[in-house]
Amino acid sequence: MVEASKPRLLTGDRPTGALHLGHLVGSLDNRVALQHDHECFIIVADLHTLTTRPRKHEFGEVPGFVREMVLDQLAVGIDPSKVTFYLQSAVPAVYDLAVLLQMLVPKARLEQVKSLRSMARAAAMSDDAMTMGLLAYPVLQAADILMARATIVPVGLDNEEHIAIARECASVFNELYGDLFPLPDAMISRSPALPGVATGPAGSGAKMSKSLGNAVYLGDPPERVREKLATLTYDAGDRRLGDEAALLMFARAFVGDAEAADLRRELDAGSTSLAAAHALIDEAVNARLAPIRERRAVLAGDVGLVEETLVDGTIRAREVANHTLARARDAMGLESLWSGLVAATEARAKARRRPY
Ligand code: ATP
Ligand code: MG
């Protein structure tokens, strides 16, 4: 059983595909490191998946992705006996909390969030067709974070503003109704926006994403990883995500800062080839992925492990969410409104000498 005195952390992913190298360096490494001295909640955000993939056949893919995603995390080294993995849609108290938090966030604030427009674009949705669900994505995320009363949220750069909105929800709530929610902080890794590889149309000009076809998956076999990494180029076209070429961002994430600086000098001087740079990165990436692949194969053979992990965690998350929701309703006066109505109805029944 987890100790309540540890600081709480919440993080997670949408089950829109298997996990990739961006997740590894953007969030999973932090999850593994922090699981020992934090009480960790890891959400499988299937409701958030509905914001861009609401069709029945799209949701039909979710169960498979849920399984892949939990297996990936166990293979990376997250210990299911330490961490609460849970399925977002199976915790209805979070929807209730999200509705209450929606009252606290100006619509114009959500319309400014760039990542939501990027998600709409990736889903071929025009700005005008953006649904309330997509616009309120960060509010639902705030409900996830605040239901756990989490203070630390390890995320990639695209999620930083969402955590700012969760803080705003918490602080406005506390101001209006009294201190209930601790203010959460985003924990941004040293590789918070790993670019994609050039296997899809978005290529290295966008961050690596499950939905953009530009990802190197943790479960990809070594040859596939090599092929994908060989698409990284060292030219200006790669630099749309920032000042640095995608190749160097990979070198920094997987080989090291000093080595990446050397590589840059050598490439600029022409003393090393692009093929040698690819080989260096491939070796480092495959050295990281080899033990993950091995553990994943063993874990995949443990039939029912993923399901049991999710069910146990979801039962725990429901307890926590119900408790937080009850406190929020109480603080807002919703609980006393309801209990007042019930008491008056009981008194009326008594006066009429009729049981209610
Ligand atoms: P989708 O394409 O469905 O949006 P995704 O690949 O962007 O999927 P998410 O589930 O949206 O993955 O993100 C899960 C977490 O991983 C978030 O905290 C996000 O910021 C982080 N993350 C995702 N992609 C990257 C990346 N390329 N680099 C660093 N962190 C990332
Ligand atoms: Mg995303």
- Name the token pair of 139: 């509010």
The pLDDT score that the predictor gives to residue 2 is: 47
DSSP 8-state symbol, 236: G
**CA of 162, nearest ligand number:** 1
User: Model pTM?
Assistant: 0.92
Q: So where are the chain's domains? A: 8-191+304-343, 203-299
> What pLDDT was estimated at residue 277?
97
What is the pLDDT, as a whole number, of residue 237?
A: 52
Ordered mean pLDDT values, 10 residues apiece, the chain (356 residues):
76 95 95 97 98 96 96 97 97 98 97 94 91 97 98 94 98 98 96 90 82 92 97 69 83 96 94 96 98 96 96 98 98 97 94 81
Q: How far is the CA of 284 from the centre of ligand 2 (A)?
A: 25
Whether 53 lines ligand 1, by a CB cut-off of 6 Å, is: no
Burial class (CB in 10 A: 0-12, 13-18, 19+), 81: exposed
Give 155's strand partners. Answer: 188
Pocket of ligand 1 contains residue 209 by CB under 6 Å: yes
Q: Ligand 1 pocket test: which of 20, 23, 157, 188 has the largest number of ligand atoms within 8 Å of its C-beta? A: 23
- Angle at 25 (CA atoms; ends 20, 30), nearest 5 degrees: 120
Cα separation of 304 and 311, whole Å? 10
Report the DSSP pairing between strands 185-188 and 39-44: unpaired
Q: How far is CA 314 from the centre of its chain?
A: 16
pLDDT value, residue 119 = 92
Domain 8-191+304-343: CATH architecture, name and number where available: 3-Layer(aba) Sandwich (3.40)
Q: In sequence order, what DSSP letters do the residues of 217-282 get, joined into one string?
A: BTT--HHHHHHHHTT---SGGGGGGSSS-HHHHHHHHHT-HHHHHHHHHHHHHTSS-HHHHHHHHH
The Cα–Cα gap between 151 and 183 comes to 6
List the CATH code of the domain at 203-299: 1.10.240.10
Within a 10 A sphere around the Cβ of 335, how many other Cβ atoms? 15
Ligand 1 pocket residue status of 13, Cβ below 6 Å:
yes
Ligand 1 pocket, 15 CB below 6 A?
no
Query: pLDDT of 145-189, one tens digit each?
Result: 999 999 999 998 999 999 999 999 999 999 999 999 999 999 999
Q: How many CB atoms lie within 10 A of CB 99?
A: 12
Q: Closest Cα to residue 226, out of 287, 159, 173, 157?
A: 287
Q: Which residues contact 4 (CB under 8 A, 6 or more apart)?
A: 39
Closest ligand 1 atom number to CA of residue 25: 29
Beta carbons within 8 Å of 336's beta carbon, 6+ residues apart: 330
Q: Which of 144, 10, 146 is nearest to 90 (CA)?
A: 144
9's tokens: 């952390």
Provide φ and ψ at 42, rounded to 5°: -115, 115
DSSP string for residues in 276-338: HHHHHHHHHHHHHHHHHHHHHHHHHTSTTHHHHHHHHHHHHHHHHHHHHHHHHHHHHTHHHHH
